[in-house]
Amino acid sequence: MSASPLSPEYIKIRHAHRQFITPEGGIINALDDISLSIAQSEFITLLGPSGCGKTTLLKIVAGFEELDSGDILLDGQSIIQQPAHKRPVNTVFQSYALFPHMTVGDNVGYGLDIAKVNKIERNQRVAEALNMVGLSGIEQRLPSQLSGGQQQRVALARAIINRPKLLLLDEPLSALDKNLRLQMQLELKNLQSELGICFIFVTHDQEEALTMSDRIVVLNGGKIEQVGSPDEIYHTPKTEFVAKFIGESNILSGIVINKSETEIEVDCNGLTLHSFDTKPELGEEVKLLLRPEHLSLTPNDHEGARAQLTMKLNQTVFIGTDYQLHGELQNGQSFSALTRKTNTPLVNGSELTLYYQVNALHTIPSKKKSTKGHI
């Protein structure tokens, strides 16, 4: 039975495993039991450090690489036996690899020429595809007569012309300069909603992932660390790896020493912090995540003095709109905060009082429970 167009399970990756034997004789688990369901018109991003398996997963979906075990279903049908050219999937790579001796029109129309689509329809669809990527009327130019951003758009036009159900994009913007990259991020997002098809986008740039995605899949060492909306991934990371990988973070280790219905108190090596995140048990070891932007040099009206920390300031960095303050807490831990222009003097070596929002303090459970601290 076929999935409905809005089914969140349009694409199902089931227990995907892929190992590589390296020339040195080592074994790499490039994909280690990946299971993931994706909706038909979703913009989903694979995010993770170099070597975590992003490209391997895309290649397997595209059909350029095989699974050791597991399955991939598209609209209810397994596609792993289908050769790459039969899958309704196209890929855009980092190096857009246009044919240099062919005009833009011939590059974009290449797939239709191979499929022997008649000239009139072919030319019309080339014009449509170029129009979708904002490049009307440049069919006669050669790739060398275009900027990097324009070439990337031609590669996109070439990838969408045969109307794939799924577009795979492997770091397609990484060769572009920052401004062009930001512009292309918005254009890609618009293109995806216009086409209404699924984009699986790969990046190792966290900001890019947060800006563009409906959901983000954070990968680490061939495994999924977390799948969620950009908001969930940023504000409620499930693991320390995700908390550190996405955005700036202060992570404090501690033990829950007090717990009420609405609040916990955590001892972090002599410092007591409060959180409204009451999932951890009394006596449990936890990691606390406190983002630098959730700290302030002025007290919070509701929480006042109890939600504060003292930091010895070591360094102030001006980053345009804000100041990054780097220093050390009383328990010796490195710490940072972000603040707008302030009347508080920022003198290295001075002690600053930092106020935090209790509701912004998120806990990440540790694997093991502590034996001490029960009260």
Ligand X SMILES: Nc1ncnc2c1ncn2[C@@H]1O[C@H](COP(=O)(O)OP(=O)(O)OP(=O)(O)O)[C@@H](O)[C@H]1O
Site residues for Mg ion per CB under 5 A: 55
Q: Which does 204 bind (CB under 5 to 8 A by kind): Mg ion, ligand X, none?
A: ligand X
Least Å distance between CB 202 and Mg ion?
Answer: 6
Least Å distance between CB 54 and Mg ion?
Answer: 5
Q: Which does 146 bind (CB under 5 to 8 A by kind): ligand X, Mg ion, none?
A: none
Strands (E), the chain: 11-21, 27-38, 43-47, 69-74, 77-78, 89-92, 166-170, 198-203, 215-220, 223-228, 250-259, 264-268, 271-275, 284-290, 295-296, 308-318, 323-329, 334-339, 351-356, 362-369
Q: Which does 22 bind (CB under 5 to 8 A by kind): ligand X, Mg ion, none?
A: ligand X
Cβ-contact 200, 212 below 8 angstroms: no
Q: Which does 156 bind (CB under 5 to 8 A by kind): ligand X, Mg ion, none?
A: none
Residue with tokens 């039991």: 33
Cβ-contact 165, 134 below 8 angstroms: no
Residues contacting residue 86 through CB under 8 Å, at least 6 positions apart? 63
CB burial of residue 148 (10 Å; 0-12, 13-18, 19+): middle
Least Å distance between CB 55 and ligand X?
Answer: 3
In the bound state with ligand X, the residue whose beta carbon lies nearer, of 30 and 161, is 30
Angle formed by the axes of helices 148-160 and 104-114, nearest 10°: 20
Least Å distance between CB 171 and ligand X?
Answer: 7
Read off the tokens for 310: 């003292």
In the bound state with Mg ion, the residue whose beta carbon lies nearer, of 170 and 285, is 170
In the bound state with ligand X, the residue whose beta carbon lies nearer, of 222 and 292, is 222
Least Å distance between CB 29 and ligand X?
Answer: 8
In the bound state with Mg ion, the residue whose beta carbon lies nearer, of 10 and 245, is 245
Cβ-contact 36, 13 below 8 angstroms: yes
Q: Which does 90 bind (CB under 5 to 8 A by kind): Mg ion, ligand X, none?
A: none
Q: Within 13 A of 343's CA, how many CA atoms are on the CB side?
A: 1
Least Å distance between CB 330 and ligand X?
Answer: 39
Read off the tokens for 129: 């595809």
**Which residue's beta carbon is nearest to the bound Mg ion?**
55
- Which helix (H) or strand (E) segment is 137 a member of? none
Q: Within 13 A of 127's CA, how many CA atoms are on the CB side?
A: 7
Q: Which does 237 bind (CB under 5 to 8 A by kind): ligand X, Mg ion, none?
A: none
Least Å distance between CB 52 and Mg ion?
Answer: 9
Read off the tokens for 24: 């040195």
In the bound state with ligand X, the residue whose beta carbon lies nearer, of 31 and 79, is 31
Rounded to the nearest angstrom, the gap between the alpha carbon of residue 270 and the centroid of all alpha carbons in its chain is 35
In the bound state with ligand X, the residue whose beta carbon lies nearer, of 29 and 123, is 29
In angstroms, rounded to a whole number, what is the distance separating the alpha carbons of residues 338 and 328? 14
In angstroms, rounded to a whole number, what is the distance separating the alpha carbons of residues 247 and 231? 12
Q: Which does 51 bind (CB under 5 to 8 A by kind): Mg ion, ligand X, none?
A: ligand X
Phi and psi angles of residue 217, each rounded to the nearest 5 degrees, phi first = -110, 115
Q: Which does 73 bind (CB under 5 to 8 A by kind): ligand X, Mg ion, none?
A: none
Q: Which does 195 bind (CB under 5 to 8 A by kind): ligand X, Mg ion, none?
A: none
Least Å distance between CB 299 and Mg ion?
Answer: 46
Least Å distance between CB 91 and Mg ion?
Answer: 12
Enumerate binding residues for ligand X (CB under 6 A). 20, 22, 28, 30, 48, 50-56, 204
* Bridge partners (DSSP) listed for residue 340: none
DSSP one-letter code for 374? -
